[in-house]
Amino acid sequence: MNQNQLQSNFEQSSCHSGERYWGNVEVIEEGKNYRISRVEIKPRHGIKPQIHYHRHEHWVVVSGVAKVTCGDEEIFLNRNQSTYVPAASLHKVENPGSIPLVILEIQNGEYLGEDDTERPFELTAVE
């Protein structure tokens, strides 16, 4: 790989990597139809519900506990457990624990652009 290809890969990855209010994302490797990221979620934080229409995601818990909601199903995953998020599925992940949650996220699809991410409004119950 030459210097221009390395710079191009870094520029593509850097727009996906970085600090978020809920934690941090670091792109480890990226290709035409896949991206592998290390996602760290702070204790008592989570990623808002979202949908991707052109990519699927696999999540592997490296440390901590993940509360995963995919469609109508809610599961808890511990270290060394994983789940699959099909395209066009409303999903979110939360860290209910007191230590950082670390997940390896493998995205796979024909299109990985962030403009394929839809974040519907959450409905809250009225008391």
Indicate whether 123 belongs to any domain. Answer: no
pLDDT above 90: percentage of residues in the chain? 70
Indicate whether 65 belongs to any domain. Answer: yes
Indicate whether 47 belongs to any domain. Answer: yes
Nearest one of 33, 105, 29, 102 to 65, comparing CA atoms: 102
Indicate whether 125 belongs to any domain. Answer: no
Q: Using CA atoms, how far apart are residues 55 and 47, in angstroms rounded to an integer? A: 17
pLDDT at site 5: 41
Total domains in the chain come to 1
Indicate whether 124 belongs to any domain. Answer: no
Nearest one of 25, 46, 57 to 93, comparing CA atoms: 46
The tokens describing 104, both together, are 């390896």
Indicate whether 46 belongs to any domain. Answer: yes
- List pLDDT tens digits, range 83-121: 999 999 999 999 999 999 999 999 999 988 877 788 886
- Residue range(s) defining the domain that contains residue 107: 3-116
Q: Using CA atoms, how far apart are residues 77 and 82, in angstroms rounded to an integer? A: 7
Indicate whether 82 belongs to any domain. Answer: yes
CATH number at residue 98: 2.60.120.10
* 36 pLDDT higher than 50: yes
Indicate whether 107 belongs to any domain. Answer: yes
Start-to-end CA distance of the chain, whole Å, equals: 59
Nearest one of 24, 40, 30, 34 to 10, comparing CA atoms: 30
- 8-state DSSP, 94: E
- List pLDDT tens digits, range 11-30: 344 457 789 889 999 999 99
Pairing mode of beta strands 91-94, 82-85? unpaired
